[in-house]
Amino acid sequence: MEVHTLEKIIADHPFFGNLEASYTSLLVGCASNVRFDAGKYILREGEEANEFYLIRHGRVAIEINPPHRRPIIVDTVAEGEILGWSWLLPPYAWRFHARAETSILAIVLDGKCLRAKCEQNHDLGYELLKRFSQIMNRRLDATRIQLLDVYAAR
């Protein structure tokens, strides 16, 4: 049944590892499968951030739009990775575009619903924040290295 499949996927995912069973069920309650065709925009800069995605297949390009130019790809997110954490922190709005580079198969989690639950249950909130902080930490490290422009000829 689809619910069990989702539960297994979420429970097995390293991001949600060691989460209390009750929390996992809670997450499953907020989750569903989703597909995107290649080229479609999954989320857009400025829009309200109400969900996040567990990418199961495909690659997503994170883009930013400079004026008078085509969008620049600043990062890519692929299978096994989490897309989006702006749902968790105010002002709850996306800061970048995310475009499906290839066709995407993902699990979407209802961020708005989860946010409400985190406000009620701070332990759940703490567990999720710990995990998202890790992702942000790694992305920050990676971004810093990208900024160093290590391959440039000086």
Nearest Cα to Cα of residue 16 among 5, 2, 34, 28 = 28
Beta-carbon-side half-sphere exposure of residue 122 (alpha carbons within 13 Å)? 0
By the 8 A CB rule, do 6 and 33 touch? yes
61 binds other proteins per the rule CB under 8 A: yes
Does 67 bind other proteins (CB under 8 A)? Our answer is no
Residue 114 interacts with other proteins (CB under 8 A)? no
> Should residue 62 be labelled a site residue for other proteins when binding is judged by CB under 8 A?
yes
Rounded Cα–Cα distance for residues 121 and 43 (Å):
28
Tell me which residues in 84-103 interact with other proteins (CB under 8 A).
101
Minimal distance, residue 7 CB to other proteins, in Å: 23
Q: Residue 4, interface with other proteins (CB under 8 A)?
A: no
**DSSP secondary-structure letter at 71?**
P
Q: Which residues are at the interface with other proteins (CB under 8 A)? A: 59, 61-62, 69-76, 78-81, 101, 141-142, 145-146, 148-154
